[in-house]
A and B are shown apart, each in its own frame.
Chain A
Amino acid sequence: MKQYLVLAVKNLRKRGLRSWLTLLGICIGIAAVVSLISLGDALKDTVNSQFNIASVEVISVQAGGITGFGPPGSGVSKHLTKQDSDAIERLSSVEFAIPRNLKTVSVEYNDKVEFVMVSSVPNDDKIDDMYTLLDIGVSSGRLMERGEKNLIMIGDSLADGEKNSFERDIGVGNKLKLNGEEFRIVGVLEKKGSFIIDGTILINSEGLKEISDIGDNVDLIVVRAKDKDSIDDAKRDIEDLLRERRDVKIGEEDFEVSTPEAQLESINEILTGIQVFIVIIASISIFIGAVGIANTMTTSVIERRKEIGIMKAIGARNKNIFYQFFVEAGLLGLIGGLIGAALGIGIGYLGTTGLNIFLGTSTKPNINFILIISSLLGSFIVGSISGVVPAMNAAKQNPVEAIRG
């Protein structure tokens, strides 16, 4: 076996550029698979953290169903209300329900204006529940308390002069003008890796009412089920309740009750779809690579006819010649796979770093060694299978004719 490998390496090196070109197909295919699988998992992690899907007991309720990319509650004719939230909270399967508002306001600081989505924190005892539910803490200053209508907390990337559009770091004690009214910053939120939290301003719900036209409307009700097991019961109870309150039939709901699991599922479905698509492309590339190897090996058999004849004259049996070409083809595949896997890991790292810089997250690429080893094995197998027919051709050369060249 060792001699076959040594000979194969020598032969491949002799063919230089042609060998490299031959392994390109396999290389690209494997690179695509490895990078996308490793990036794909990182992508999932990123998306999940972006939507801050951490606590699985949380159910969110919003009117109008999912309307697109706008913030929850936008573009809805029949809004949810505080009374809906209170009614939900009275359900036996529900621990508590927090009405929230999300509003885009103009924020002025350092003579510059940026539009920021602010979200409300309750102006009552629920404030602590909300902090717990969204896992909110501060990196500097303190958390707002109930009744602090003129204070705000800002997200981590908003505080950073490099990332915000005020061209200046903002911190505790600074004052921002929201829709023209002045608010003092009391705390900077811990970095979450999610643009929803990191780029937001948290404001007292009464304070938000004063600078906007939300009135009694509620954009979003976040509900915590009694426990994990009752999450489906809670979802059904809320749907029954809202159908009754809003007077709609089953199947005609003008509201959406969604659990994080369902959100996760739909996001993951899309990502899986993308991965499947890329795996198909990669498979095509690997197939083309295999055809390339078969082609090169066939040419090589013709070119090395004389060599085959000599080897046979000095005692090589058909199987010796077969193995020689077979191993060479497999090696072509394996080297292609190795370079591809290295490339794929590189792309995985670069892509993840890019995502992290772009989104301010801190995910790591998912380097799956089983995946890498199986793709290397796979590329060796693809290579050797492509080499079977050329190797058989080589083996059955007649020594007398072959030696004439």
Chain B
Amino acid sequence: MGELISLKNVWKIYREGEENAVFALRDISLIIKKGEFVAIMGPSGSGKSTAMNLIGSLDVPSKGDIFLDGHNISHLSESDLAQIRGKKIGFIFQQFNLIPNLTARENVMLPMIFQGSDEFEREKRAGELLKLVELEDRVDHLPSELSGGQQQRVAIARALANDPEVILADEPTGNLDTKTGEKVMDFLNKLHNQGKTIIIVTHDPNLAIENASTTYWLKDGKIDKITKKKGKNKIVGNEK
């Protein structure tokens, strides 16, 4: 499998040069391959959110380089980044983050609007995706009319809108009860089995261990250890 995303000696420093500068990430390097299921683990303040922002091309590093599909995206303009993440990355958030005054279908169509696909195509694909997440009978409902689990499934459908290579999920089950959380993870696993690269960011070790083939454990802005799973929940690697 080829490299999809790689971070090379990446630093992220907030308020750089000032006295109260925050070193969110210190010299991180990692490689995510196509089709992998990766978890980024760590307690709050470990830098995992910053790592997610950089991997998701929401932000650019202070130092170091990030490659997405072979292209260095570290120095791209905000608009170029937007275009790239709209096409290659599908986001799933802890708070679902649906646009409140748009229906489920309209929310799913939104990323396609930004990529300029035509209206007929958008409607058709949105319908298919909502069917995939088993919400075909909720297409015209507003987010406020949906349960948490349903909202997160709409968010999954939205993340798939432009058929991205990577699904980047930030605490996808954090706001859900165990059962609906499991269902959401089932969908992510299904997508993984279909060949998508899945990256989840979480503080929940069980979630990481149960699902991810590779888990990066962050601590104080550095990779503390990397665990790999081969077969059933068997940790084969442990490196600093």
Contact = CB atoms under 8 A, between A and B. Distances in A.
Q: How large is the interface on B (under 10, 10 to 19, 20 to 34, 35 or more residues)?
A: 20 to 34
Contacts of B53: 400
Contacts of B147: none
B44 interface: no
Interface in B43-60: 53, 56, 58-59
Interface stretch (A111-119, A196-204, A303-311): A303-311
B82 A3 contact: no
A318 B85 contact: no
A3 to B, nearest CB: 5
Nearest to A11: B101
B85 A315 contact: yes
A370 interface: no
A313 B99 contact: no
Interface string B216-238: 00000000000000000000000
Interface in A347-405: 398-400, 403
Contacts of B59: 398-400
Contacts of A316: 82, 86, 114
A345 B101 CA distance: 35
Nearest to B168: A313
A318 to B, nearest CB: 5
Nearest to A319: B79
Contacts of B98: 310
A311 B99 contact: yes
Contacts of B99: 307, 310-311
Interface in A287-341: 306-307, 310-320
Contacts of B193: none
A186 to B, nearest CB: 77
A10 B101 contact: yes
Given A11-B101, A320-B114, A403-B97, A313 B58 contact: yes
A400 B87 CA distance: 18
A314 B78 contact: no
B101 A313 contact: no
Contact of B101 (A14, A306, A315, A319): A14
B158 interface: yes
B171 to A, nearest CB: 13
Contacts of A2: 119
B97 A315 contact: no
A contact face: mostly helix, strand, loop, or mixed: helix
Among the interface residues A11, A311, A398, which one has the most CB atoms of the partner chain B within 10 A? A311
B170 to A, nearest CB: 10
Contacts, number: 67
A399 B97 CA distance: 13
A315 B82 contact: yes
B58 A306 contact: no
Contacts of A13: 101
Contact of A317 (B83, B101, B161): B83
B113 interface: yes
Among the interface residues A7, A313, A320, A398, which one has the most CB atoms of the partner chain B within 10 A? A313
A153 B59 CA distance: 93
B217 to A, nearest CB: 23
Contact of A315 (B86, B93, B100): B86
Contacts of B86: 314-316
Among the interface residues B82, B93, B158, B161, which one has the most CB atoms of the partner chain A within 10 A? B82
Contacts of A10: 101-102
B162 interface: yes
Contacts of A307: 99-100
Among the interface residues A306, A310, A315, which one has the most CB atoms of the partner chain B within 10 A? A315
B113 A399 contact: no
B110 interface: yes
A318 B85 CA distance: 13
A310 B155 CA distance: 11
A313 B114 contact: no
A320 to B, nearest CB: 6
A238 B207 CA distance: 108
Given A306-B97, A400-B59, A403-B97, A314 B102 contact: no
Nearest to B84: A315
B82 A312 contact: yes
B91 interface: yes
A11 B85 CA distance: 25
Interface in B83-135: 83, 85-87, 90-91, 93, 97-102, 110-111, 113-115, 119
16 contacts: A3-B113, A10-B102, A14-B101, A307-B100, A310-B98, A312-B82, A313-B56, A313-B58, A313-B91, A314-B86, A314-B158, A314-B161, A315-B82, A315-B86, A317-B79, A403-B58
Given A3-B113, A314-B90, A315-B85, 4 more contacts: A313-B91, A314-B86, A317-B82, A317-B83
